[in-house]
Copies of this chain bind each other. A is one copy, B any other.
Amino acid sequence: MRGVVMTKPGEVIVTDRDEPQIEEPTDAVIRLAATCVCGSDLWSYRGVQDADHQVMGHEYVGVVEEVGDEVSTVKVGDFVVGSFMISDNTCEICQAGFQSKCVHVESAASIGTQAERARIPMADGTLVATPGQPTQEQIPALLAASDVLGTGWFGADAAQAGPGKTIAVVGDGAVGLMAILAAKQLGAERIIAMSRHPERQELARYYGATDIVEERGDEGVEKIKELTGGLGAHGVVEAVGTQESFMQAVGATRGGGYLGYVGVSHEVQIPGIELFFAGIHALGGPAPVRRYLPELIRLIWDGEIDPGKVFDLTLPLEEAAEAYAAMDERRATKVMLTF
């Protein structure tokens, strides 16, 4: 089968890979309907993380082609969405809703779902079947649920978005936009998008942003305070992962407020004393997308949310190199790869 491989930072090829097989009785093999490039794939593309002929991709939707003997919740022919974090969904940590910290957790990134087919371990714990076969229009939305929607939703949930709340979102990438969608869906009264890009501001407003703040860093914090009677937002979602964005998110959260941080904070050093005197709740990390999947699929199926719009470019898998380049150069927010 064909699949994406990053030979070294900045170099992406599409090449022949071994066909996936059932290896464990809890595995499923799926044929992908679509996959995509994640903002976090750019960490290795840009050399922040190393890359040496590694398979790429951790987001996926598709049709089950084969299941192991112990798989009971999905069957051949089902259309499924899975989390980018593979989980058993039965351990104590999963049962507490933190499937991304499952005792048997694996990352789908090690499988490489930018490919025609993929072996999904712990299929019962990882995959959720849709009520039927989706339309072509529903596929991007379901694909978003695999990571960016679930991650943005986790961020908004961690920020305690809800009725009467003012939520600020730092970052206008796909995850930030999905956090805006989630905050709106969770009932937030006011949603402040921190964004400098006109076309993303427009998408932010489409998803529910009521205010736009272009300032960054301390100026951005001051602006949020101005907009919130000097207090700061009730909740802030950090969806970038840089030093500036992280501290901006900390500073924009009111005392006793809630910070949800979902940007992968690779090179961030948080001064303990600043976090201490901020006096805020913080929750973040790889999102337990599996917790939210059934509800997200329902919302998509019922047409209540439209997350698929974050894909502003669609390319065939064979053009994956261009997909990476477009995202790296910010010509695209998020690229869907099709077959």
Main SS class of interface, A: mixed
Say yes or no for A93: interface residue by CB 8 A criterion. Answer: yes
Query: A265 contacts which of B243, B266, B276, B285 (Cβ < 8 Å)?
Result: B276
Residues of B within 8 A of A277 (CB): 285-286
Among A230, A270, A278, max chain B CB count under 10 A is at A270
**A272-B246 contact in complex given A93-B256, A256-B93, A256-B97, C-beta closer than 8 Å:** yes
Say yes or no for A254: interface residue by CB 8 A criterion. Answer: yes
The answer to whether B278 touches A280 (Cβ under 8 A) is no
Which chain A residues in 83-135 approach chain B with CB under 8 Å? 92-93, 96-98, 100-103
Digitize A20-48: 1 where CB-to-B-CB distance is under 8 Å, 0 elsewhere.
00000000000000000000000000000
Query: Nearest-CB distance from A83 to chain B (Å)?
Result: 14
Digitize A212-253: 1 where CB-to-B-CB distance is under 8 Å, 0 elsewhere.
000000000000000001110000000001010010000000
The answer to whether B286 touches A256 (Cβ under 8 A) is no
Which chain A residues in 261-289 approach chain B with CB under 8 Å? 261, 264-273, 275-286, 288
A281 to B96 Cα, complex, angstroms: 13
The answer to whether A100 touches B255 (Cβ under 8 A) is yes
A282 to B277 Cα, complex, angstroms: 13
Among A241, A243, A256, A261, max chain B CB count under 10 A is at A256
Residues of B within 8 A of A286 (CB): 276-277, 279
The answer to whether A256 touches B96 (Cβ under 8 A) is yes
Residues of B within 8 A of A273 (CB): 264-268
A275 to B288 Cα, complex, angstroms: 16
| Number of A residues with CB within 8 Å of any CB on chain B | 42
The answer to whether B269 touches A265 (Cβ under 8 A) is no
The answer to whether A103 touches B256 (Cβ under 8 A) is no
The answer to whether B255 touches A93 (Cβ under 8 A) is yes
A281 to B275 Cα, complex, angstroms: 13
The answer to whether B231 touches A279 (Cβ under 8 A) is no
A243 to B92 Cα, complex, angstroms: 29
Residues of B within 8 A of A266 (CB): 272-273
A276 to B245 Cα, complex, angstroms: 14
Which chain A residues in 150-206 approach chain B with CB under 8 Å? none
A68 to B284 Cα, complex, angstroms: 46
The answer to whether A103 touches B276 (Cβ under 8 A) is no
Residues of B within 8 A of A278 (CB): 285
The answer to whether A281 touches B282 (Cβ under 8 A) is yes
The answer to whether A275 touches B284 (Cβ under 8 A) is yes
A97 to B101 Cα, complex, angstroms: 30
The answer to whether B103 touches A230 (Cβ under 8 A) is yes
**9 A-B pairs with least C-beta separation:** A101-B255, A268-B272, A98-B256, A265-B272, A279-B285, A270-B270, A101-B279, A282-B282, A281-B283
Instruction: List residues of chain A with CB under 8 Å of any chain B CB.
Output: 92-93, 96-98, 100-103, 229-231, 241, 243, 246, 254-256, 261, 264-273, 275-286, 288
Beyond A98-B279, A267-B272, A276-B284, 14 extra complex contacts between A and B, CB < 8 Å: A100-B279, A101-B279, A103-B231, A243-B272, A265-B272, A265-B275, A266-B272, A268-B271, A269-B269, A269-B271, A269-B272, A275-B284, A278-B285, A281-B281
